[in-house]
Amino acid sequence: MSTTDTHSTTLPDWFTARRDAARLRFEATPAPKRNDEAWRFSNLSQLDFAGFTSNSGQAPATDHLIARSTGIGSTAAKLVFVNDTLVHSETTRLPAGIICLPLAEALVSHPDLVEQHFMKQETRLGSAKYAAWHEAMVANGLFVHVADHVEVADPIEVHHWIAGGNTGIFPHTLVVTGRSSKVRVIDIFRSAADLEPGLAIAFNDLSAGENSTLDYIAIQAFNEVTRMIQIHETSAARDASAKAFILNTGASWARNESMSRLEGPGARSDMLAVSIPAREQEYDQRTFQHHVSEGACSDLLYKNSLYDNAKTVFSGLIFVDEGAHHTDAYQTCRNLLMSDTAEANSMPGLEINADQVKCSHGSTSAQISDEEIFYLCARGIDPVSARQLIARGFSVEVVERIGNEAAEELVLRFVDDKFARIAGGGA
């Protein structure tokens, strides 16, 4: 334990030990190279993170950020972090049987519970080095533990702000649902100012217990000089449903690595994403649907609408373990090219080691068809608005799978905001 660390007098030993080990691992792990399969088509120059500092514990004046932290109307709890520092918390509406705390607090009050679930999976989609960095730096985030049979009706909403230039954050979201319980968590990532470069290395542990329903939404709406790596580790036990939805509208570069493990029969994982890159934005998405158990279902739908010189990479793998019979696994990536200079790369993949499986994977890239435009224009809608309506519709199809009106409205607010900026010439 380091004596210079002011937190370490209260943090559990396991955590500080892992933090120290992670720091060494981060330093020892080489940076991704051009010929790494997990970084194929990636822009590796985005991985130079020199000059960023974590300002955790030193949130600047935050009243205006708290005021701007509006999400859905009715929440079970709402937390606001600025530079990984909790600046606002509303938790009085939580039902009994749920622990919902800032991670920094949970580490102290429920160390064993956190340890049971904290970063248990090996990061396999390319960012092991950055997962180690996250583990070495993580200071805060959300911890949710829902007891058996407890249902949380309204979502838990967490706002993550980056404030100040060259600031890095390392937010962690850890959600555990007990048997037959239900919860929905929404993370919203934003920048305090438009022109301040930021960095976020975020990590999610989502563990859906037997017959539970765990819905997660990440809204990434950083400014366009911020970069983000977000790693999602999801596991679904027998008859559990884990649904994760990611929206990317912000950041200059964002990489999402999403891993879902289907661990029991009847488990279901929905992996959904909508990305709307414009100008020079780049989104790099890697997914892994891991069928460990027989009789489980995973369904992935990622949609990208690319404007200007935007670039996307999608690489997905469905992996069915030996013995994971009667698997249903689907993977679809669709790209809507809104300009001639946008670039969408898709690499769908499938590896099946079991029998009687239903799997499909595919990706498409297309422009809006002339017939669709003609149809809308023939109703008096101008061509620019027509393209906008169609592109919005393309995204809406995924958003509607969230299955909660308030959450869908919130996501569409960010979607519409992005389209308005594209229409306005900004991004």
Partner 1 sequence: MSLSIQNLHATLEDGTEILKGVSLDVPTGQVHAIMGPNGSGKSTLSKVIAGHEGYVVTGGSVTLEGEDVLAMSIDERSRAGVFLAFQYPAEVPGVSNANFIRAALQARLPEGVEIDAVAFYKSLYERMDLLEMDRKFTGRAVNEGFSGGEKKRNEILQMMMLEPRYCILDETDSGLDIDALKIVAKGVNSMRGPDRGFLLITHYQRLLDHITPDVLHVMAGGRIVRTGGPELAQELEAHGYDFLKEAALA
Instruction: State which residue, 37 or 370, has the beta carbon closest to partner 1.
Output: 370
273 touches partner 1 (CB under 8 A): no
Instruction: State which residue, 47 or 396, has the beta carbon closest to partner 1.
Output: 396
Task: Report in angstroms how near the CB of residue 347 gets to partner 1 at its nearest.
Answer: 24
Distance between CA atoms of 232 and 153, rounded to whole angstroms?
23
Task: Report in angstroms how near the CB of residue 388 gets to partner 1 at its nearest.
Answer: 10
Instruction: State which residue, 55 or 388, has the beta carbon closest to partner 1.
Output: 388
Q: Candidates 20-28, 84-92, 125-133, 374-382: pick the segment binding partner 1 (CB under 8 A).
A: 374-382
51 touches partner 1 (CB under 8 A): no
Instruction: State which residue, 352 or 381, has the beta carbon closest to partner 1.
Output: 381
Three-class DSSP labels, the chain: CCCCCCCCCCCCHHHHHHHHHHHHHHHHCCCCCCCCHHHCCCCHHHHCCCCCEECCCCCCCCHHHHHHCCCCCCCCEEEEEECCEEEEEECCCCCCCEEEEEHHHHHHHCHHHHHHHCCCCCCCCCCHHHHHHHHHHCCCEEEEEECCCCECCCCEEEEEEECCCCEEECCEEEEEECCCCEEEEEEEEEECCCCCCEEEEEEEEEEECCCCEEEEEEEEECCCCEEEEEEEEEEECCCCEEEEEEEECCCCEEEEEEEEEECCCCCEEEEEEEECCCCCCEEEEEEEEEECCCCCEEEEEEEEEECCCCEEEEEEEEEECCCCCCCEEEEEEEEEECCCCCEEEEEEEEEECCCCCEEEEEEEEECCCHHHHHHHHCCCCCHHHHHHHHHHHHHHHHHHHHCCHHHHHHHHHHHHHHHHHHHCCCC
What is the per-residue binding string for partner 1 in 188-207, x denoting contact by CB under 8 A?
--------------------
Instruction: State which residue, 148 or 372, has the beta carbon closest to partner 1.
Output: 372
Task: Report in angstroms how near the CB of residue 346 gets to partner 1 at its nearest.
Answer: 19
Task: Report in angstroms how near the CB of residue 375 gets to partner 1 at its nearest.
Answer: 4
Q: Identify residues 283-312 at the interface with partner 1 (CB under 8 A).
A: none
Instruction: State which residue, 90 or 416, has the beta carbon closest to partner 1.
Output: 416
Alpha carbon 224 to chain centroid distance?
17
Cβ atoms of residues 269 and 242 within 8 Å: yes
Task: Report in angstroms how near the CB of residue 380 gets to partner 1 at its nearest.
Answer: 4
371 touches partner 1 (CB under 8 A): yes
Task: Report in angstroms how near the CB of residue 390 gets to partner 1 at its nearest.
Answer: 6
Cβ atoms of residues 236 and 266 within 8 Å: no
Task: Report in angstroms how near the CB of residue 412 gets to partner 1 at its nearest.
Answer: 11
148, 372, 401, 404: residue in contact with partner 1 (rule CB under 8 A)? 372
Query: How many residues contact partner 1, by CB under 8 A?
Result: 25
Instruction: State which residue, 122 or 370, has the beta carbon closest to partner 1.
Output: 370
Task: Report in angstroms how near the CB of residue 397 gets to partner 1 at its nearest.
Answer: 4
Task: Report in angstroms how near the CB of residue 389 gets to partner 1 at its nearest.
Answer: 5
Cβ atoms of residues 188 and 159 within 8 Å: yes
Diameter of the chain measured on Cα atoms: 72
Task: Report in angstroms how near the CB of residue 317 gets to partner 1 at its nearest.
Answer: 27
Q: How far is CA 11 from CA 57, 140, 153, in A?
A: 15, 12, 32
Instruction: State which residue, 288 or 414, has the beta carbon closest to partner 1.
Output: 414
Task: Report in angstroms how near the CB of residue 382 gets to partner 1 at its nearest.
Answer: 5
Instruction: State which residue, 319 or 394, has the beta carbon closest to partner 1.
Output: 394
Instruction: State which residue, 70 or 375, has the beta carbon closest to partner 1.
Output: 375
Other C-beta atoms closer than 10 Å to the C-beta of 119 total 20
Instruction: State which residue, 34 or 379, has the beta carbon closest to partner 1.
Output: 379
Q: Identify residues 376-405 at the interface with partner 1 (CB under 8 A).
A: 376-383, 385-386, 389-390, 392-397, 400
What is the per-residue binding string for partner 1 in 331-370, x denoting contact by CB under 8 A?
--------------------------------------xx
Q: Which residues of this chain interact with partner 1, rule CB under 8 A?
A: 369-372, 374-383, 385-386, 389-390, 392-397, 400
